[in-house]
Amino acid sequence: MAKKYESIKFDYNNMMADHVGEKEGISAQELAAMRNKAVAAHAEVKLNRGTGMMGWTELPYNQGEVVKDILETAKVVRRNAEAFVVLGIGGSALGPMAVFQALCHLRHNELPKRLRKAPKFYVEDNVDPERMASLLDILNLDKTVFNVITKSGSTSETMSQYLIIMDILKKRYGDKAREHIIATTDSEKGNLIKIARKEGLKTFYIPDGVGGRFSEICPVGLFPAAVLGIDIKALLKGCADMDKACRKADMKTNPALTAAALQYLAMEKGKNISVMMPYTDSLKLMADWYCQLWAESLGKAVNKKGEIVNVGQTPVKSLGVTDQHSQVQLYTEGPYDKVVTFIGVEKYRKEVTISGGAEDFPSVSFLSGHTLNELITSEMYATEYALTKNNRLNNMIILPEVNAYSVGQLMMFFMLETAYAGAMLGIDAFNQPGVEEGKNATYALLGRAGYEAKAEELRSRPAKSDNYVI
């Protein structure tokens, strides 16, 4: 009998004028007037499913054989490795990190192996030399497997890490170095696939039409998750069920379409900051993953007509309750330029009761007998109330429980919301020309062949003045 899962819920009451006032809120009439734009955005996404850079829409349905291979390979890694290290950056790192944080023990790497039942997990998503050196200080290379992830095989950060690690492994293991590295890359194009074939590496393929920020539900994210013992079939089922829930162009039933329409209207009202605020440490890094998805997809200079539009909403990550003590003052009393999205959990996976012991101090003892579960949930709703009372737009996504299925639903919700929002804004949500400019400048500065013109451009830029250096 198939396991039955509960679905996540999207509550947007506090986006509406009824709750936050007519000046800042969105009226029912304004939302209704979005119908034609929402229908058109839905039609655009539907038309392009599985084509171009929207190959990710079909990932919940077309990976049966891939999943089988992933599970078999992950079983071997789990049996033999003490540590599993992802070499990647951007979407190749943020997705695996977010799912690891969400679905593994919050102290996973500190647990004894008999309780972990999986290798320790590290993601090297930067090229700080001190970071790489510190990683090498703690690894037992005899018992470590590396997963190098880059679709193009030309990502400077990832490939520099690969070159360092492969050099160390070859010096130590010779031809057996290949037993310590698994590649995830394009099946035909780019440098890494050529290197992987030359070195005889086990390789997983990133499907066509799947950009980095949409890649968590292909081998980029599924393989690390499987190594950690996460139920990747339930993750994909959550994605599929959310996708099916969003098949109709009806804002009364399609949560991702409604969320996109509301954010579009909020942007029209000058709400240029989107705060993602989960109230559980397990989803802390989901906010990091969302920030890349939203920023890189929607921050564009030109629309599809070639017109200068400079659109986008700046995503900010926040953590409840922690950031009530660092950011919420700004959210409740600062500029009216933000939308706060809470992520709440109905049932935490553990319950901790608050002890007695301070009966002579009523301002402390009132906590006794309650649970941390009650406290964190109460603080979330209290913050929601404070924002709403101060006429600040906010909405809430509620997970019945944090599990592989609900995390899959949440990620597909955000990916579809992003696609719909891009269509509403009239921009290409799947390219990143601003990122490419920085990459090209880096290649030029490091002397990569073919980038001589860019190097000359850099050399000819105005020199900095000492007058502005203190």
Residue numbers annotated as active site: 296, 325, 439
Q: Which residues pair with 11 in a beta bridge?
A: 396
Specify whether the CB–CB gap between 407 and 235 falls below 8 A: yes
Specify whether the CB–CB gap between 179 and 166 falls below 8 A: no
Q: Which two tokens stand for residue 377?
A: 């949930």
Return the number of other C-beta atoms located less than 10 Å from residue 209's C-beta: 19
Q: Which two tokens stand for residue 167?
A: 């050099």
Q: How far apart are CA 44 and CA 424, in angstroms?
A: 10
Q: How far apart are CA 93 and CA 89, in angstroms?
A: 5
Among 101, 65, 56, 55, smallest CA distance to 225 is for 101
Specify whether the CB–CB gap between 140 and 82 falls below 8 A: yes
Q: Which two tokens stand for residue 429?
A: 């949500």
Q: What are phi and psi of 406, to 5 degrees?
A: -70, -35
Q: Which two tokens stand for residue 169?
A: 């492994």
Strands across the sheet containing 9-11:
9-11, 394-399, 338-345, 273-278, 314-317
202-205/273-278 β-pairing: unpaired
Q: 122: number of CA atoms within 13 Å, CB side?
A: 19
Q: Which two tokens stand for residue 184?
A: 């995830």
3-class secondary structure, 446:
coil
Strands across the sheet containing 144-149:
120-124, 83-87, 144-149, 181-185, 202-205
Among 307, 388, 422, smallest CA distance to 52 is for 422
Helices (H), 299-395: 328-333, 362-365, 372-389
Q: How far is CA 295 from CA 45, 57, 210, 389, in A?
A: 19, 20, 17, 29
Chain position carrying tokens 């999207």: 10
Specify whether the CB–CB gap between 85 and 146 falls below 8 A: yes
